[in-house]
Structure 1
Amino acid sequence: MQTIPSEDAGLAGRQQPDIGSSAASPPLAITMGDTAGIGPEIIAKAFAEGCGPCIVYGSAGVMADAVARLGLALRVRSIAEPEKARFSPDVIDVVDACDIHESPPLGRISAACGKAAYDALLAAIGAARTGTVAGIVTAPINKEALAAAGLSYPGHTEILAAHGGAARVAMMLANDEIRTVLVTIHTALRLAIEQADFAAQMAAIRFAHEGGRALGIPAPRIAVAGLNPHAGEGGLFGSEEIEIIAPAIAAARREGIDASGPWPGDTVFFQARRGRFDVVVAQYHDQGLIPIKYLGLDRGVNITLGLPFIRTSPDHGTAFDIAGQGIADPASLMTAIAYARRLIAAKADTERERVS
């Protein structure tokens, strides 16, 4: 994803990620996302499966409605602050952090739902920045609902960039086969070409290196995709590879980063899937996300890099077309929780090594 300057479904029989359930594990905040979408449903299902110590930020009333609609043997408890959470296996502790207190009409774009999703996320960010929770897992939000609420953010990453306390952030999409970091994100393709300058290339390559290390790869092999077909074919199909991308790769290598390319965008992910590369730097949104999503929406995870806390998210949207039907699959949310715990543990190990 573009680096951004900061302003300040049956479950039976499926292999689930190992996320742990001990109360000694670091607590995670799960934001409900858009309450008219599938967020409350997949969160309820994740708690029913055993997602470990988590606190929901959103609406206790909406979560109670979702639990009742699904017929789950869970209770919902409203808490004023995260320190009051008990992490009981049959209880969903919810910090009421928005103005919606019962389920809205499902599957519809609503300014109220957009504002509620934003408020819940800000509350969770505040808890993460103070260390009250170790990280945030975000259920999907709807960009049109945010806009209807008068909020000019294209998505989660931009909100996190504005309020998360980092100088810059980037998005890594990952599954168990490939990982990618985007140079540009939610913008028109015409603008993405303009924005993919030398500074954006360097930031993305550095984030790819840091993200790979955060996932436990000591010296990540970074492949940088070209912008044009065949990576420009030596300048026949465009000069960006020669004038911008290759110089950035050379500069990154001088910093000790194992970066290579530019590689043709239509084959580099195939090479990464075969084990040649650990992380691919993609130039624009669809170049990076299509390979990830093609392998399965239930397997992909969105990781925000650069924040002082961990943030992950499922790799799917609000799914308004199936909201309230009880068929939404929580697999990607469960995977996002597993990745969050993995990153938190790795971060703790790194911190212990630093002070020892």
Structure 2
Amino acid sequence: MFIQIGVLMLYFFYEKLAIEARFLKIIAPVLLLFLLGFIGTIFNSYPIYGFIKDIFHFSKPIVGLLIGFLFYKKINNFNLFIKTIVYCGLASAIIHFLVLIFMGNIFSGSVDAIREFGKDNFLELFALFFLLSYSYFQKEYLLKSRLLTRVIVFILLVSNVLYFSRTMIVVALVLLLSIYGYTVLNKKTIRFLGLFITAIALFYGYLYTVKIERNKPGMEGFLFKVKIAPAELFKTKIDRENHKDLWDHWRGYEAKRAYALMQENPSSFVFGTGFGSLVNLKFKAPLTGEKEGIRYISELHNGYMYVFYKTGSIGIIILFLFFGTLYLALYRKHNNKRMILVFISGIGLVYVFTSLTITGIYNGRDVIIFILGGLLYFERSSVFVKEIEG
């Protein structure tokens, strides 16, 4: 956050402090969520460290959107925007390979060993989809060399697979469905989604009928994590003394503790508990690598419960309005900006899902927010439209 704020300060040092009103209208929901966090704090007393931490945390999507919007407004070149994401993703993939070769154990066959130095990377995933879909939307190739394009696609594809991330798989499916128009609600997509949901249900039915053990090498260990994913999110009846049960359903346990604390103060259901509030886990959990562990946490994996805990039901409504506004971009009739609108809408759906698993827009390592900021500039820029038509 300090680096991001420093980048913004550097930008405003050289450029005029001018932000368009229409952009402020777009990001109004995250601004309102930021302001809502102060209401709960007014009625409670919290340690200053937690208060400051939450301020930075809730300002993250605001800063990220500003950086993406303002820097690409200055550059004003959509082709360069896409190339920037692709080449940054390529650099990240190469670093990923080097880390796995020299620091990890890529040849062990263990999914956990391979994932130790990389849980997910959405920069690489978006780089791959931008590169693959550019010619589909823009009717021209992003890179002049077809050989270079194939090499970059191969590197990005292999690197993405080696993350073995359940969240990345779902995000990839959402982007793929968005690109080919299956996220627009009509009779065709409803039938397709029905078949897709049936296939997922059959897949999970199969997983629950076979014995899959945890910590097994290869795909079995990964399939075990896929198998427990739904229960990990939603199961709340957890035996805290049973460590396997606890860690397999940690996200549900966090949410359960947060909700229990809100019940002690009914007003928090409306305005939240505010910035600086902590969730009492009722035991010292080994979450930070320290021997003693920590009993109180500020952030939750479940982004909906996190926003609800901090800003109440008002905050949840605002969050869904923000996601809904992004998703509805797909319904705008603007052929020249079709790729932009599809990815804005796709990101809205991506955040609907990632808010369940990795805190969504409030994830500390989220890079999608910078990409969204750039896309929102090109979606709103009339100069950009003239450049395409010319």
Q: Structure 1 length as normaliser, TM-score? A: 0.28
Q: Structure 2 length as normaliser, TM-score? A: 0.26
Structure number having the greater helix percentage: 2
Structure index of larger Rg? 2
